[in-house]
Structure 1
Amino acid sequence: MSNSLYHFAQESGTAIHWRLRRNCSVTPSQLGWLYLSMCMVSLGIGGFFWLQGATLVLVFAGLELALVGLAFLAYARHATDGEWISLQGASLVVECESAGRKERAVFSRQWVSVEPKSGDHSLIELSGQGRSIEVGRFVRPELRQVLAQEIRKALRTA
Structure 2
Amino acid sequence: MGMIPESSSSAGEPVDALGAGQASEPQSKTWVFRRNCSLTPKQLLHWYLSLCAITLVIATGFLLAGFWIVLPFAGLELFLVGTAFVVYARHAADYEMIELQPNQLVLVMADGAKLTQLKWTPQWAKLSYNGKYKAPLLFSHRGQQVKIGKFIAEKDKSALHRELKAALARATCPV
Q: Same fold (TM over 0.5)?
A: yes
- The aligned counterpart of 1:149 is 162
5+ long unaligned stretches in structure 1: 1-5
Match of 2:106 among 78, 93, 105: 93
CA positional deviation for 1:130: 2.1
Match of 1:9 among 7, 14, 20: 14
Matching residue's letter, 2:92: A
CA distance, structure 2, for counterparts of residue 94 and residue 142 of structure 1: 22
CA distance, structure 2, for counterparts of residue 8 and residue 140 of structure 1: 16
Match of 2:34 among 8, 16, 21: 21
Does the 8 Å CA contact 1:10/1:17 hold for their aligned counterparts?
yes
Larger strand proportion of the pair: 1
Cα deviations across residues 120-150 of structure 1 (Å, max 9, x unaligned)?
Answer: 3410010011211110111111211111111
- The aligned counterpart of 1:78 is 91
Secondary structure (helix, strand or coil) at the match of 1:36 reads: helix
Q: CA RMSD in A?
A: 1.5
Does the 8 Å CA contact 1:8/1:19 hold for their aligned counterparts?
no
5+ long unaligned stretches in structure 2: 1-10, 18-25
Cα deviations across residues 55-95 of structure 1 (Å, max 9, x unaligned)?
Answer: 11001100110111111111111110000110112111100
Larger helix proportion of the pair: 1
2:46 maps to 1:33 = yes
Match of 2:142 among 105, 120, 129: 129
2:57 maps to 1:44 = yes
Does the 8 Å CA contact 2:106/2:120 hold for their aligned counterparts?
yes
- The aligned counterpart of 2:6 is none
Matching residue's letter, 1:37: S
> 4+ runs of 1 displaced by more than 6 Å?
none
Does the 8 Å CA contact 2:99/2:107 hold for their aligned counterparts?
yes
- The aligned counterpart of 2:8 is none
- Percentage of pairs with the same residue: 37
Cα deviations across residues 3-59 of structure 1 (Å, max 9, x unaligned)?
Answer: xxx945223352100001111111111110000000001011111111221111001
